[in-house]
Amino acid sequence: MFGMSGGELVVLALVALFVLGPERLPGAIRAVSAAMTQAKTWLDSAKDQLNTPELQHLREPLEELRAPLAELRAADPRRAARDLLAAPPARTAAAATPADSSGDPQNTSGGAVA
């Protein structure tokens, strides 16, 4: 209930017993229970009102967006960055060509000087 474990519920019950006392604790439990029941009834009613056919035309564009949103949520930018950093550096075209054998630093033709 509300993400609470059994031990937490026991501690909460003991605190309520000490704060409210044994005389008022049953009435407080009934009041909290009635409030939770009323809230559940209200939420169920609101959900039923939102699931009407009149609102179906509003739901259709949202359904079209679900697939791209799911792809975005599945994307992990940290993993993509880690993969890019771990990959060996790509060889560029300049690094792949052999060095100029003419010895002339001004010669950019790649061949011998004429």
- Average pLDDT for 11-16: 89
pTM over 0.75: no
- Average pLDDT for 25-43: 94
Contacts of 104 (CB under 8 A, 6+ apart): 113
The span from the CA of 81 to the CA of 31, in Å, is 54
Contacts of 67 (CB under 8 A, 6+ apart): none
pLDDT tens, 37-83? 999 999 999 988 888 877 777 778 888 888 888 888 888 888 888 88
- Tokens 């300049």 found at: 94
